[in-house]
Structures are given as C-alpha cells and as structure tokens.
Structure 1
C-alpha cells in the first residue's frame, strides 16, 4: 500500500500550495478576459503542451510544426512517427479538456486514454490500451545512442496489474476522504504511476495527460491556458532527478516523497506565473492597441498566422494603412514577420 502518511510538509511546500491556490481563486474571479482571448490563450498553450510533451519523449517537431499539423488533423494520415504521436496527443488533450467531468479515474479509462494516445502510432498498434508484457526499465543513453545503463527499474509485467489497481483504488479513496491537499495527492499519484510504468510505451505522455485531467477535476480550471508540459521540458534534468530520487524509495518502509513533490509544486507554480504574466500583458496590450491592430492580432491568435490578404479581407482596410499597423506590431514585438514580398506572413510575437 502507498505510505503517503510519510509526507513531510515543509514551509516551502506550504508556500507553493498557497500561491497556486491563490491564483486558482483569482482565476475563478477573473472574468475580465473575453472568450476569444481565452480561446487564443488555450490554443497557444495546447500547441506548447503537445510539442513539449512529445519532445520530452524524443520527438523532434517544433511548436511551429505542431501548429501546422494541428491545422490539418482531419486528414487522419501521418507519415512519420513524430507526427503520429503528436496527432494522438492532440486528440486526447481535446478529449480531456471537453469531457473531464465524465472521465472517472478507473483502470478502463486509463487504458482507453492510452489506446487513444497511440491511436495513430503504427509501431505501438500491438500494445496500445494493454498493460506491458515485457520489462521496460527506464534507460539512459549518450549522444551517440549508446546505452549507459538502467536509470530506474520499473514494476515487472507480473506485478503491474495489481500495483495499478492498488494505485487507482488508493487515489479514489483518498480523494473522497480529503485527508490530503489535492495537489499532494495528484503529485503522489503521478510519481507512483511512473514508478509502475504500466504500459510498454507512452507512460510519460499519459502521465502528463492524467495530471491535467486530475487538476481539472480538482478545480484548477486555468490549466488548459498555460502549458505545464513546457515548464517540465525546460527543466528536464531536474524532472528526471526528482523522479529518480523519490522512485527508488517508494517500495521501502519510509518513502521519500520530498524531491518529487517539491519539483512538481515548483513546476505548477511556474505554470501559474507564466499565465499570470500573459494575462497582465493581455490587459496592457489590449488597452493600448488601435482597433485595426487589435483585429490583426486577434486573427493571428485564432489562426496561428496572418497575411496582408487576410487583413484586407478581415478589416476592409487600405493596404498602405494596414502596412503601417503591421510594421508597428512587428516593431513592438506583438507579431513576428516571415518571408518577403508577396509571400510575407506573420505570427504572434510575445505570447
């Protein structure tokens, strides 16, 4: 059974939880951002989350390539492994955002999410939606792809079903009992899930999808608007170190939850800081932009990019006037310019 009673609540943990919960309350009371602004923030955060979460696991696609792929998701045909993984992650994220109230934490739902996550991934067709059948210890490689050694031994295929059942039962009972703060509970859930590593592949990506699901269910409604995956990608070494330090102790008499919980809460606090910065910048920018510039920026947010032709159709404005607005937006960092001559196009700058 999971010995969560051994959690040490340090002043730093208390402070981090308090700051995250303060923002949670402020977000609920915010009500100042219009729906189109919110949808633009969510679009950017979703692209960052998908890009970061798949790159943590070895994908090479940039956020711009992810954005391009997402605009063509309906084709349902993806040639590379990276594209297949991004497409699956995008669909599962959308499912979680739209239906989190209806996805109870059961083994069946976890298996379904795993199956959907790998739905386009040809190399994973044989195992998606099923627990692992062979060992999948976490291994470190050097730059040449040579194996350096096992970083962490995960649960055996034999023990996996029992340990996963125990974890799901424990989490649901503790959530109902409300003995622990939800953030501590979710943090422990994630690190134990990754210690079991119940599926042959896709465990890291699935753990981040489940983190988002559990945060939404715990009332952290701002989560879709700021990418936690991006924070983790930018502190990948600390992420793996914290996992290793805690995971090695989970099956002992006195597990050391501290390294992982501190990392997890710091990452959540950074996610909040980034969103807070964006919201504040939105308010300032929107209060000072001329109407034409505002329309241009909003179109770029909604569609990922804008051309002069788009701007003329959108605003019915004069080409020379619009050129001045584009120049000003680029100069102030609100837009970035690509291409030249007739092929010029723009995307958001300081998002």
Structure 2
C-alpha cells in the first residue's frame, strides 16, 4: 500500500534541485502560447510523425519492456477532457484558500461534472503485465493526505520552488477520486507555477507530453513517491519542457515565415 506523502519528508538531491532549477528558468522563458490554447488532444495531434518520434525518444532504455507492452492505448488519452480549459476557468478562485471541498469541485470541473467526491472505498489499479496490482492510499488516510496538500498549497513555504512538483506527486500518490486524478494533478502543477509567476503565458499541456512518452513520466513519478528518489522525475520534466519549448519556438518561426511570405505577396501585387 502506498504511504501518505509529507512535504517535509521530500528530499531532493543536489542533482535533482539543479535540474528543477533549470526547469523553472526554462519555463519562465517560454514564448507566448498560441492565441487559441486548444486542448491536449489538439496539441498532440498536430505534432506529426517526426515530433512524435522525438517525444518517444525521451524515454529511457530501461523502460523498453514497458514500451513493448501491447496494453498501452494512446486513443484513450485523446478522449480526455482538456485540462487547460479547466485551469483558465479556475484562475479567479486562486485567491481563496484551497480546501478538500475545493479540490472536489475542481476535479468535477476537470471531468465536466457538477462534483466529484473523495472516494470512500479501497481502490486498486488494474493488474499489470505480471498480474500484480497496486493498492492506493485507503479511505481513512485520504482526508489527512488531502489536507496536507491543501496546507502546503496555502502556506507558501520558504522552499516554494519545489512545491508544484511535490503537489503533483502527492495528489497522484493519494489518488483520491474515482477518475480525473491525473488531470487535476497536472492542473494544480500548472496553477501553482502560474500564480507564482513562473508560467507567464499560460499552462503547459503536460498531459499530452506525458502520454506521448509512453510511461517514462509514470515510472519516474513512482520512484519519487515510493522511494523518495526525485532525480528521474526532475530529469523527465526538464526534458519534456525542453521539448515543448523547442516546439513552441519552431511554431513561432513557421508563423513568422508565413506572415512574411504573405506580406511579400501583398507588396508584390
């Protein structure tokens, strides 16, 4: 069974802190997002074969057994609700303290439902390829786990730079809802970075990036929550943000090129 994570127990090595610091600097320099943010599926769909190949190349060799599994279904991701829409709608609520009830409300918005309450039953994942299943945090521990997340969010601790990273992992570790946990965790990650002024131009479609790596992020996150080893997760997020940054920069260059070409055509006529 997973243990409930506490913020004070999170230990980032010198290497992990350096990678996370580089990630924060890179996110602060991200160019402006397209005027129409769209959703994760739209962003993923426009990558094309070459960009998709580059994303998959971000995975580590040790994950080859997982990547070869026929159970991975990319189409399931394409049916998910866009977390960016939820994030932008929720921004006015950021001035209010975070509570378990607000988490329930926000998760409901992720799913397009009136509300989504903290589960009151034991919850197991589906069996993996070896027939094993992972038990999530049980109902008696869920409220304390969520209250810890809310306290960290509300307290603005001195070491606030790792807060969005810890909140992302802590919520996925608790897995308090029947559905939408990943969307809510990614939303909180983005919201915390946006309210702190790191993400100036809007959220990162983290879900699209994570799913395109075919499990690299998932296993890196498990190391952080189960063994307190944060280096793989910091490395994974840094590489994903580097990819996203280069993708945006390339898109902007193409847009400028098209605009220049159109201007030239107009002048010639």
TM-score when normalising by structure 2: 0.71
Tell me which of 143, 159, 178 is aligned to 1:179.
Answer: 159
Pairing partner for 1:274 from 234, 241, 247: 247
Give the deviation of 1:93 after TM superposition.
3.4
Deviation at 1:20, TM superposition (A): 4.5
Contact 2:87 2:191 in 1 (8 A): yes
Q: Does 1:256 align with 2:263?
A: no
Matches within 5 A, 1:93-172: 93-103=84-94, 104=96, 105-119=98-112, 128-142=115-129, 148-150=131-133, 152-172=134-154
Unaligned 5+ runs, structure 2: 1-5, 47-71
Instruction: Give 3-state SS (helix, strand or coil) of 2:118's partner.
Output: coil
Deviation of 1:261 after TM superposition, in Å, equals 2.7
Distance in 2, matches of 1:286 and 1:246, equals 45
CA deviation digits over 1:33-70, x for unaligned, max 9? Answer: xxxx9324x2376733799xxxxx9673686xxxxxxx
User: Corresponding residue for 2:11?
Assistant: 6
1:49, 1:228 within 8 Å by CA — same for their partners in 2?
A: no
Unmatched runs of 5 consecutive residues or more in structure 1: 31-36, 52-56, 64-81, 250-254, 294-351
- Structure 1: how far apart are the matches of 2:111 and 2:30? 36
How many positions carry a matched residue from both structures?
Answer: 235
Relative distance call for 1:261 and 1:101 in structure 2 (3 A) is: farther
Equivalent residue for 1:287, pick from 241, 245, 260: 260
1:302: which partner in 2? none
What is the CA–CA distance in structure 2 between the aligned matches of 1:269 and 1:158, rounded to whole Å? Answer: 40
User: When you count strand as a share of all residues, which structure comes out higher?
Assistant: 1
The equivalent of 1:78 in structure 2 is none
- TM-score, length-scaled by structure 1: 0.57
SS in 2 for 1:266: helix
Greater relative contact order (CA < 8 Å, ≥ 6 in sequence): 2
Does structure 1 conserve the Cα–Cα contact (< 8 Å) formed by 2:167 and 2:185? no
Q: Does the Cα contact within 8 Å between 1:191 and 1:260 map onto a contact in 2?
A: no
- Structure 1 pair 61/259, CA: closer, same or farther in 2 (3 Å)? closer
The structure having more radius of gyration, on CA atoms, is: 1
Deviation at 1:262, TM superposition (A): 2.5
Counterpart of 1:136 in 2: which secondary structure? coil
Q: Aligned-pair RMSD on alpha carbons?
A: 3.5
Mapped contact 1:133–1:200 kept (Cα < 8 A): no
Are 1:20 and 1:268, in contact at CA under 8 Å, matched by a contact in 2?
no
Q: Pick the aligned partner of 1:235 from 196, 210, 213.
A: 213
Identify if the C-alpha distance between structure 1 residues 196 and 284 changes in structure 2 by more than 3 Å, giving closer, same or farther.
Answer: same
Deviation at 1:234, TM superposition (A): 1.2
SS at match of 1:3: helix
